[in-house]
Amino acid sequence: MHFVKPAVAATATAIAALAFSSFSQSHSHQSLNPPNTALSSNPKSNRSFRLIKTFATSPSPLIMNHDLSSQSHTDDVLPELLTEFMVDMKCEGCVNAVKNKLQTINGIKNVEVDLSNQVVRILGSTPVKTMTEALEQTSRKARLIGQGVPEDFLISAAVSEFKGPDIFGVVRLAQVNMELARIEANFSGLSPGKHFWSINEFGDLTRGAASTGKVFNPLNKENTKEPLGDLGTLDVNEKGDAFFTGIKEKLRVADLIGRSIVVYATEDKSQHGIAAAVVARSAGVGENYKKLCSCDGTTIWEASDKDFVPSKF
């Protein structure tokens, strides 16, 4: 299993992925360059990608100057993804503050900002948690709205939310290419030490982790040394917090929808699972530009931190 070494981090605010609607593949492949879109001047990269001019209708697929789906990876560097945030920006000063801050972060290759739609699109290998903290340091509200690679994946991203009452967390999975997925996780409320965690067969939580079945293994080989759903261990600090980033080969996000992610009491899985959450489809790039909650009409900026599970971190 090729994972980036997990790192334990202090409590930080992360952003829950919002529900999304799929975009139609019948849209035009023409990329638009809105007049008020601020392009990155980051000297680290001459790569560019374009934002959609209007988000009133489903955006069309992006034509990019680089192929993220064929990128290689090493054991200490995460593969690059496009990540979209909606950020509360009101003027060009806001745009400059956001871009200048993000361009100081290691792993970020390019930043584009669409002021009229308050969308920031980031290309790079930086974890969502790090980008979220950077945006918050500009004193502006931000919400993660999409992540992935603008390729022809039916499902490119998924999320699993642990909603307590004792253990809180969010796990994000994004398809990099058909042979590789990227995983990020934040947890709080766990006991210090190492905890085994895995993707399990079923999303049945009627008996908590006990009803989620075995560790997911589509190869269905009993002698498999390491099932595909084996995610290794989480290192939890003395405060009960854990932060994980890694990659998993052969893992396809589309195969995980409706299954579950389970955290166990011990590193060797000798005890039962102590927390479980269903894996749900999440917004990919260009698939979620809504500013209003469909359930109650609340705008994204009026929603309180209590409306977002990861605010427990």
260 and 272 both lie in a single domain = yes
Judge contact between 116 and 83, C-beta under 8 A. Answer: no
The confidence band for 285, taking pLDDT boundaries of 50, 70 and 90, is: low
Q: What is the mean pLDDT of residues 294-302?
A: 46
Q: Which of 16, 87, 7, 8 is nearest to 310 (CA)?
A: 16
Amino acid letter for position 127: P
Please tell me the predicted confidence (pLDDT) of residue 151: 63
Give me the CATH number covering residue 65.
Answer: 3.30.70.100
pLDDT digits (tens, 9 = 90+) for 184-225: 999 999 999 999 999 999 999 999 999 999 999 997 655 567
Pair of tokens at residue 254: 């589309």
Q: Which of 110, 253, 98 is nearest to 174 (CA)?
A: 253
pLDDT digits (tens, 9 = 90+) for 76-112: 578 999 999 999 999 999 999 999 999 999 999 999 9
Handedness of CA 59, 60, 65, 67 (dihedral sign): positive
Determine, yes or no, domain membership for 5.
no
pLDDT digits (tens, 9 = 90+) for 10-67: 333 333 333 333 333 333 333 333 333 333 334 444 333 333 322 333 333 333 344 4
**Treating both helix axes as pointing N-terminal to C-terminal, what angle do 92-102 and 128-136 enclose, rounded to 10 degrees?**
140
Domain, as residue range, for 206: 157-281
- Separation between Cα atoms, residue 174 and residue 162, nearest integer Å: 18
Q: Which of 269, 254, 157 is nearest to 212 (CA)?
A: 269
Bridge partner residues of 279 (DSSP): 160
Handedness of CA 236, 2, 103, 144 (dihedral sign): negative
Judge contact between 150 and 226, C-beta under 8 A. Answer: no
Q: Reduced to 3 states, what is the DSSP secondary structure of residue 115?
A: coil
Please tell me the predicted confidence (pLDDT) of residue 105: 96
Calculate the average pLDDT of the chain. Answer: 75
Determine, yes or no, domain membership for 135.
yes
171 and 63 both lie in a single domain = no
147 and 188 both lie in a single domain = no
149 and 294 both lie in a single domain = yes
Determine, yes or no, domain membership for 214.
yes
Give me the CATH number covering residue 256.
Answer: 2.60.40.200
Determine, yes or no, domain membership for 265.
yes
Please tell me the predicted confidence (pLDDT) of residue 270: 83
Determine, yes or no, domain membership for 14.
no
Judge contact between 57 and 290, C-beta under 8 A. Answer: no
197 and 229 both lie in a single domain = yes
- When divided into structural domains, the chain yields a total of 2
Residue 5 has pLDDT above 90, yes or no: no
